[in-house]
Amino acid sequence: MTMVRGVVSLIGVLVVTSLASWLGVSDRHAESRILAAAAPLPFFYDLYTFRSEDHTTSVVAAVAVPVGGLQRERVDGRVRYRFDVRFVLADTVERVVSRSLDSVFVSMPASLPSQHLLHTYVEIQAPPSAATVQQIVVTDATRPGVGQLQQSPFPIADYSGTELMLSDIAFGLPGATTGWTRRGFTVALLPTSQFPESDFDVYYEVYNLPSGNPYETEISIASLDEDAEGAVVRARFQGRSSAGPDGSMGDLLRVESPLSTGRYAVTLTVRDQATGRVASSSRPIEVRGWGRGMTLMPAMSRVNEPGIR
C-alpha cells in the first residue's frame, strides 16, 4: 500500500542514528560501522504488510542486491557473496522500536554476472502506527565500510476491525520451492521495481470474510506508461471462503501473461457475494526485463549477536 522511496549514503548518517539514540535503542557498535562507511552499496527493496496476532502487523521487507556491488570471496574453490540486512521500524510518537539483523550468503561454483540479483526477505512484527519511520541498512559483510541506508516515513496499516479488508499485494517469482512462507503458501518475494519479463505470483490476504461465503476476486493490470492504453490483464475468479475463525484467508494467483518492459498498476478487488461488501488494494510495479538472473537466499537471523536487541 506504500511505495518506499528515499536513499541516504552511509557517509554522514549521524541524523539517522541519532533518531535511534533518541528512541533509546542505540547500538553503538552498529552505528560506528555505519558512520565509518566509505562506499555505497546499491540495493532495491519494498515493504509488505499483513495482519498479525495480538493487534500487531507483520511487515515483510523484500530486498535485492546486484552482485556487482559485493566483494567476491574464494572459499574451497567456490565463489561466495555475503551481505547483512538491518531492518528497523520506529514509532516516533510512542517511541516503540521493532528491528532485526540478518545475514545472507550464497556459494556458487563460478562468479555471477554483475547485474545478477541476490534477493532475500526479512520479517518483523510491529504495532499499527501512522507515525512510523522505516530504515533498512544493507552492508557488504566482506568489506567493512561498504553499505547504504534507505529510510522514509512508513505508516503501518491497522488490520483490526470488522470491515472487509485486503492486505498489501506481494509479488514473487513463480514456482517457488523456498522463500517467504505464509498460510501454507511459499512466495519468492521481489521488490516491485525489479520484475523480469516472465510469469509471476501475486499473494494477498482477505480479512473478515466469513467462512463459507461465496466471493469473487478480480485482478487487473493497467499500464502506467503514456504511450499505452487500457488494462493489459483483467480476470475474475470465484470461490467460497475458507477463512479461519478470525475471518482471514490467504490466496496465491499466478499471472501467466508475461508483461513487457514498463510500469504497471496491479489492482485486486474482492467482493463478498453474500453481503455485497467490497475491498480493493492496488500497487505499482516496474518490469525491467531482468535478463541476468535472480537467486533467492533465505536470511539468517543475527538477533542474538551482542549489541542487537
Pairing type for strands 294-296 and 117-126 reads parallel
Residues 15-48 pLDDT 10s: 344 454 544 444 434 444 444 445 899 999 999 9
Q: Establish how many alpha carbons lie within 13 A of residue 257's alpha carbon, considering only the half-sphere containing its beta carbon.
A: 9
Cell numbers that stand for 3 in this block:
511505495
CA angle 265, 267, 268 (to 5 degrees): 160
DSSP summary character for residue 116 = P
Cα gap 143→275, rounded to integer Å: 57
pLDDT of res. 259: 84
| pLDDT given at position 22 | 44
Per-residue confidence (pLDDT) for residue 53, from 0 to 100? 86
The confidence score (pLDDT) of residue 307 equals 37
The topology (CATH level 3) of 8-301 is: Coagulation Factor XIII; Chain A, domain 1 (2.70.50)
Confidence at residue 24, expressed as pLDDT on a 0 to 100 scale? 46
Q: For residues 101 and 10, is the Cβ–Cβ distance under 8 A?
A: no
Say what the pTM is: 0.86
Q: Where are the alpha helices (DSSP H) in the chain?
A: 14-22, 28-35
Residue in the structure block whose three cell numbers are 535485492: 64
Domain ranges in the chain are: 8-301
Which residues in the chain come in under a pLDDT of 70? 1-38, 228-231, 290-291, 303-309
Residue-wise pLDDT tens digits, 194-210:
878 888 899 999 999 99
How many Å separate Cα 201 from the centre of its chain? Answer: 14
Determine the pLDDT at residue 25. Answer: 44
Q: Which three cell numbers stand for residue 303?
A: 538477533
